[in-house]
Structure 1
Amino acid sequence: MTKPAAKPARPWFGSGPTAKRPGYSLGALPASLLGRGIRAPEVVERFAQGLRLTRAVLEVPESHLMLYTPGSDTGAVEAALWGMLGERPVQVVAYENFGLTWLADVKTHLGLEPEALTAPWGELPDLSKVDWSRDVVFPWNGTTSGVRVPDGNWIADDREGMAICDATSAAFAMPLPWDKLDVVTFSFQKALGGEAGIGVMVLSQRAVARLDGFKPTRPIPKLLRINDGKGFDRALADGVAINTFSILTIEDWIDALEWAEGAGGLTELIRRTDANYAALEAWVEKTDWIAFLPERPEIRSTTSVCLKFTDARVAALDDKAQKAFVVRFKALLEGEEAVFDMEPHRNAPPGLRLWCGCTVETADVIAAAPWLEWAFETAVGELQAR
């Protein structure tokens, strides 16, 4: 197959960190606070401004409190698990790598006995089996499996337990029903293409009440400690950091949020994401060697889109050989600087994964498709020539 004539203008399709916003320039970030102390009033105010913008763009209700955590979304989820679980039984909805990670942590490190609701890669567990007398931990969107929950209708309004939602590849790309979620976590480096290392936690008043009233007997590492000994540490909701955060990373985050607000807010971010997904979906449906990993359209992610090989020549290979095929596929594309970071998560089945979030341009998704076809035909040709 002849190499395509045109390349994506912005060939970044990795699922984290994701593509920077259109028009991004590192040199445009403010530098006046660099080198200042993390507790300086001006720095704390700048951090608080980041939280205010996050609330505005995500349309988080004023009743909910927000804070930063170390360790990106992983740190945010872990802080919630360590600080809140143990008062009542726990269920973990685990249908991809990170849900399985939270399941292992709750069981192994917290010493609890969670009930697991699991499903094979590309599928969603039976959500009718969720028991809302328990605290329920779940990803809204499975970054590593390309599966998402279809909506929030399965979450009980009269729940007794907490709904603890890992939303890191859903925030800013999918509508989140805030009245049904008690803890929501995400990171800078997913949907808005921020820099890595800092997570965000959103707490409902029910979650704040849990932190105020429940005192775990386990020791909690400082980096995960959002309780000041008396209850939830309210200073965190004012922009105070648990440890020393990068001011440059916060400025980068504020830049992304200001772009998002100027672009049209959450409605426009979701529209951009849906348009990117639709462009990729149209290509998948007319291409005979690739298909979505999730077979059911209603549970397919619109951000971390995961695909599987259906061509008999590749599907016949064992898992190790298929992974080697993906490595070659990736090398061909990146050697041409046409598509970067399209490989699946290391624990996921072999295939492709392309980020279609709002910082990606639809024209670049369309331009990437012929390059995927070229790389596939080239890699298959090399496979048959061996």
Structure 2
Amino acid sequence: MTDTTLPQPELRPDCPNFSSGPTAKFPGWSLDKLQTEVMGRSHRSALGKARLKYAIDLTREILGIPDDYLIGIVPASDTGAVELAMWNMLGARPVTVAAWESFGNVWIQDAVKQLKPANLTVLEADYGEIPDLTQIDKGDDVVFTWNGTTSGAKIPDTDWIAADREGVTINDATSAVFAQPMDWSKLDATTYSWQKVMGSEAGHGMLILSPRAIERIESYSPSWPLPKIFRVKKDGKLNRSIFEGATINTPSMLATEDYIASLEWAKSIGGLSELHARADRNAKIVHDWIEATPWMRNMVSDPAKWTNTGVCMVFQGDWYDGLSDDNKAAVPKNIAGMLDKMGIAYDFNGYRDAPPSLRIWCGSTVEEEDVRRLLPWIEWAFAQVKAELS
């Protein structure tokens, strides 16, 4: 039983930002690290296009994206990038959309209610689980989320994607890329947003296309109309200028410079391997703590599917199980609210559509010591909340 007289911890996290998006800025970030020469200039000027192209080139270098893949900056964050891929590519073949948390379900709704392609299969699983992906036919186009941002469940591998697949894969990687290895040979359209693992400013999405995806876009025209911000073809061919520093609409150059600064920081600390290692170390601290805490469990039952970014945890035990539904929801809400007011930790309550939970972002921009310092505060706050609700 938790001691309700648990003493208040002494050490506070230096950075209290544990949100799962936008995530914490990289260590040492400040506005004066951003280049400002392009501010007030057209994004179509030589300088503007050069800075956008530099962001694309750094992305390729750090992520190790194959040379024959194209990388574009597109509007409307990861949502815009996923929907651009879906609206341009789906409808040519049977489609399977797989989802196991909130954002994946958005792509299901796009397919079911908006695009309505023929031969549509929906694979769903509850929070913390992943559907049986091996049942997906290799002839299908597939839409899936690599890492469940709101559940903490990631795919453990890409063995279920056939090397000789006939369809294309559309991968929402926004809470996985830069923290988990991407199997580029199995990915045709990969998307993410700047404000997730790299902690940059929101608003823009990244779209990474394989040669197979390029061929699909150029050989197929969907039956539905495309909004302007989804149009990536010119004279029947992919408009490659979008992938060389031009953009479909006006980007924020301030946000672009912030993204560039985060990529330069990543390069300075050792690149992708160190980004992965930082997230792994942070997540291990939280996973080990959950396993050692009797009133807490990981939302994901299978350790092979545990994320190293947004770790989600739910409460358990006789005391918690005896609470009303409203009081069960109050436990994480009150813990997060209490530590927010104290300036200890911000924005780590579980996602609004998820089961009552806490979600600690462990991505690459978070410092290991800050994670260590947060956990005793959660224990202390839990003791206070338990006393209040008992």
Which runs of structure 2 are paired with 1:97-116 in the superposition (5 Å)?
97-113=102-118, 114-116=120-122
Q: What corresponds to 1:29 in structure 2? A: 34
Question: Which one-letter code corresponds to 1:223 in the other structure?
Answer: I
The 5-angstrom pairing of residues 111-122 of structure 1 reads: 111-113=116-118, 114-122=120-128
Deviation track 1:47-75 (CA, whole Å, cap 9, x = no partner) reads 00000001111110111001011111000
Aligned to 1:273: 279
Q: Residue 319 and residue 240 in structure 1: after superposition, are their counterparts in 2 closer, same or farther (change >3 A)? A: farther
- Equivalent in 363, 367, 375 of residue 373 of structure 2: 367
Hey, what does 2:20 align to over in structure 1?
A: 15
Partner residue of 1:90 out of 82, 87, 95: 95
SS at match of 1:117: strand
The 8 Å contact of residues 290 and 298 in structure 2, kept in 1 or not, is answered as: yes
- Classify the secondary structure of the residue corresponding to 1:270: helix
Which residue of structure 2 aligns with residue 217 of structure 1?
Answer: 223
* Superposition deviation, residue 28 in structure 1: 2.1
Q: Any idea what SS the aligned residue of 2:233 has?
A: coil
Q: Are residue 250 (structure 1) and residue 244 (structure 2) matched?
A: no
Higher alpha-carbon deviation: 108-117 or 312-321: 312-321
Q: Which residue of 1 aligns with 2:329?
A: 323
Give SS of 1:211's match: helix
Query: Quick one: distance in 2 between partners of 1:314 and 1:329?
Result: 14
Aligned residue for 1:50?
Answer: 55
The worse-fitting range, judged by mean Cα deviation, of 123-132 and 306-315 is 306-315
Alignment of 1:1-386 (within 5 A): 1-113=6-118, 114-384=120-390
Alpha-carbon separation, structure 2, partners of 1:105 and 1:282 = 38
How far apart, CA to CA, are the structure 1 residues paired with 2:171 and 2:151? Answer: 17
* 2:19 counterpart letter in structure 1: G
Question: Which residue identity is paired with 2:185?
Answer: D
C-alpha offsets along residues 300-333 of structure 1, whole Å, 9 cap, x if unaligned?
Answer: 1110101010133223334333223322111111
Between the aligned partners of 1:324 and 1:62, the Cα distance in structure 2 is 50
- The root-mean-square deviation of aligned C-alpha atoms, in Å, is 1.0
TM-score by length of 1: 0.98
Q: How far is the alpha carbon of 1:39 from its aligned partner? A: 1.1
> How many Å apart are 1:229 and its aligned residue?
4.4
Amino acid in the other structure paired with 1:24: W
CA contact (8 A) 2:72 2:207 kept: yes
The one-letter code matched in structure 2 to 1:167 is: A
The number of equivalent residue pairs is 384
SS in 2 for 1:185: strand
Amino acid in the other structure paired with 1:377? A
User: Any conservation in 1 of the 2:327–2:389 contact (CA below 8 Å)?
Assistant: no
Q: 1:320 to 1:226 in 2, by over 3 A?
A: farther
Amino acid at match of 2:125: A
Contact map agreement 1:83 1:227 (CA 8 A) in 2: no
Give how far 1:217 is off: 2.0
Between the aligned partners of 2:333 and 2:287, the Cα distance in structure 1 is: 23
| 1:344-365 CA distance string (max 9 Å, x none) | 1111000110110110111111
Unaligned stretches of 5+ residues in structure 1: none
Distance (whole Å) between structure 1 residues aligned to residue 63 and residue 134 of structure 2: 28
Report what 2:3 is aligned to: none
- Give 1:216 deviation, angstroms: 1.2
**Percent of residue pairs bearing the same amino acid type:** 43
Q: 1 CA distance for matches of 2:311 and 2:389?
A: 26
Give me the whole-angstrom Cα distance separating, in 1, the residues matched to 2:202 and 2:321. Answer: 35
Secondary structure at the aligned position of 2:297 is classed as strand
Aligned counterparts of 1:71 and 1:162: Cα–Cα separation in 2: 23
Per-residue displacement from partner, 1:252-304 (whole Å, max 9, x unpaired)? 00000000011101111001110001111121111111110011100111101
